[in-house]
Structure 1
Amino acid sequence: MISEEVPPQRADARRNRDRLLRAAAAAFGAGDEPALEAVAAEAGVGIGTLYRHFPSREALVEAVYRSELHALCEKAQDLLAAHEPSAALRQWMGNYADFVTTKRHMADTLRAVFTAGAIPSALTRNAVTGAVAAILAAGAEAKSLRADVDPDDVVTALLGVFLATDGPADRARIDRLLDLLAAGLRA
């Protein structure tokens, strides 16, 4: 899986960082390029605190992306603990759709972050493929999911769904396509 790579911090600094990440994720997910001052205000901290943690917009976007990717991939294990593997897979696919569609609003800044090499290009693919592999393995063991499926093929199919649709405005269609994909993966 992926780690968030956060250096040790005092408890209050960690709380401020976490509040900034939550506020930034909500602001970027809302669809606009938010002013960093607005993110700081929403988090209940000053702009200086934001810049101490994230010296640039790109650093903030990178941290939000890494944090949400980490949470998405960790969610696979949580879902497996709470649900039968085929239900966990379908629910995780919906979480992945949310992750991808909310990133459309950060696309320009994310592109700069990826181009600069701050997030290695294989990081997301490997993390997501690992989460899918864990769910598929649990499903194969429980005999509820096919054992002959390559996790990377599932990720490729998911990306096809996201590329072929219009994000949040097309959520009903995304869900129908994810239902079809999930049905094809059942044993």
Structure 2
Amino acid sequence: MLEENRGLLRFGAVVLVVVLVVVGGVLLFRGGSNTKLTVMSIPNDLTLRLDGHEIPANGEVNVKSGKHTLEGSRPGFQSYTQTIDISGKALNYKMYLYANGPEGREWAQRNPEQELELEHEAGKNYDEMVDRLRAKYPVLAYLPYVGDGFEASQAPSKSDPNNPEAISLAIEVYGPQGKTKALQWIQGYGWNPTTLDIIWTTGK
């Protein structure tokens, strides 16, 4: 009889936990207008959390409008966190993780189709980033450039080094007139030197 009561207590505890998880999820997505969020993930068995609550890695979920945080993780892969802004329109989101360990590389060998999609998306994202950089920094179209007493090239941003979409204009000058000539070159295209993140160095 005692064992039977203990079994009932354990069962009740499990049910309570399940109810709390479900209720927690309902509360997360209640309030405000609901919007359909459709997610596709690679690897398709990664763990996906929305505002800390686990949701299906692939499929649809109703989410209230506003800013939300998506977190994807899986052993053998680099975790990724992204803030999304849901404004009332249905949103499609792709959560892609990239292998950074033996388990991830083994997964890629076992799932060549998903790995191919992952590589395609990485190339697409890179091209889109390059387009954004060129729109933000028109000077990129002229780099590298060798001028009269100076050389100009692209370098990681000195003021925002952790931002992959921020760059510095690296200018190496030769002789006393190098900097003047470089500034003339910049202004000749209508760019304002004070708006550029410039790294000045002196060559031999």
TM-score by length of 1: 0.27
Higher strand share: 2
Q: For the pair shown, which has the larger CA radius of gyration, 1 or 2?
A: 2
TM-score by length of 2: 0.25
Q: Could you say which structure has the greater relative contact order, defined with CA pairs below 8 angstroms and 6 or more residues apart?
A: 1
